[in-house]
Copies of this chain bind each other. A is one copy, B any other.
């Protein structure tokens, strides 16, 4: 392989000069710089990553800890992953993708071996056992998802409290007085998906403040169960004019359910979902929805992580960045139908 020694020889300088010419860490005469650069081009030189890492203690790699949970809409994860890898690359970092079942072990292993400069944790749970390891690690980390205790670690998530309120307020303002909220299954919550109750609690509280009805239901995450549950909910609450969906499977099932009942949105019922724009496109869902902003969150987490790696950020100050929810209007909300 071609080394910096080869470059130095071809350029007729010492290895240190070649190194400095490339890093720009000390001033180099233009002629020498040109000779070095020419040598690099002609030889096709690229620094050996391992040697560089050993010498600098910087790998220019970030570790991405994904966590694939049953009953979760796996494809959604891809958007987070792409946000992270693309932003990392733009900033000169590559991404080591860790999909180990045992996230704690993976974190320990990679951290100890100094394979990466920092970590991004995806799908962070309310009580995530990876956080303690991360706090001990010599490398910094950024979370995508808000844990119960984010002390000492930067965290990025959608503001699910604001999302719950926004959904209710939007329909209330249009005149709706009875709503149904379909959440993800309770076991998502049990294994740490606190965002589910954050949204639901906020929605219920806001509905109470506004003096309107909100029927909350934990739905299944699979077909055809969720379809049947939706049917049943609509049967049970005939006066409900608005449907809030914090459940991807429910959103995917709804078109058929409405169709079979001869209902259309928003003429007969208003609908607001909470899922990614990408999901909406894939399933061609015609419902207004609060975007998960997966790509954006992944990018923010990386941006902050790199600032921390670079030390361009106060080490003692940690941020919790909750993205304000925004409804992508697809025209599925309107004033409720007048009852005759």
Contacts and interface: CB of A to CB of B under 8 A. Distances in A.
A114 B223 contact: no
Contacts of A59: 50
Interface string A303-331: 00000000000000000000000000000
Contact of A51 (B44, B50, B78, B97): B50
Nearest to A100: B89
Contact of A282 (B1, B75, B85): B75
Interface in A231-272: 252-253, 255-256, 259
A110 interface: yes
A284 B257 CA distance: 14
Contacts of A89: 99-100
Contacts of A6: none
Contact of A138 (B1, B94, B138, B252): B1
Interface string A18-43: 00000000000000000000000000
B114 A97 contact: no
Given A78-B75, A96-B95, A222 B284 contact: yes
B74 A99 contact: no
B61 A96 contact: yes
A298 B158 CA distance: 33
A255 B256 contact: yes
A64 interface: yes
Interface string A41-72: 00011111111111000010100100010000
A12 to B, nearest CB: 23
A59 B1 CA distance: 15
Interface residues of A, number: 54
Given A74-B78, A75-B75, A96-B95, A46 B113 contact: yes
A112 interface: yes
A94 B115 contact: yes
B82 A68 contact: yes
A109 interface: yes
A281 B253 CA distance: 13
A7 interface: no
A189 interface: no
A81 interface: yes
Contacts of A100: 89
Contacts of A81: 97
A80 to B, nearest CB: 11
Contacts of A85: 97-99
A54 B44 contact: no
Contact of A284 (B64, B86, B109, B223): B223
Contacts of A115: 49-50, 61, 94
A93 to B, nearest CB: 11
Contact of A78 (B47, B78, B96, B253): B78
Interface of A: 1, 44-54, 59, 61, 64, 68, 73-75, 77-78, 81-82, 85-86, 89, 94-100, 108-110, 112-115, 138, 222-224, 252-253, 255-256, 259, 278, 281-284
13 contacts: A1-B114, A48-B114, A49-B50, A50-B114, A81-B97, A86-B99, A94-B96, A94-B98, A96-B97, A223-B284, A252-B284, A253-B284, A256-B256
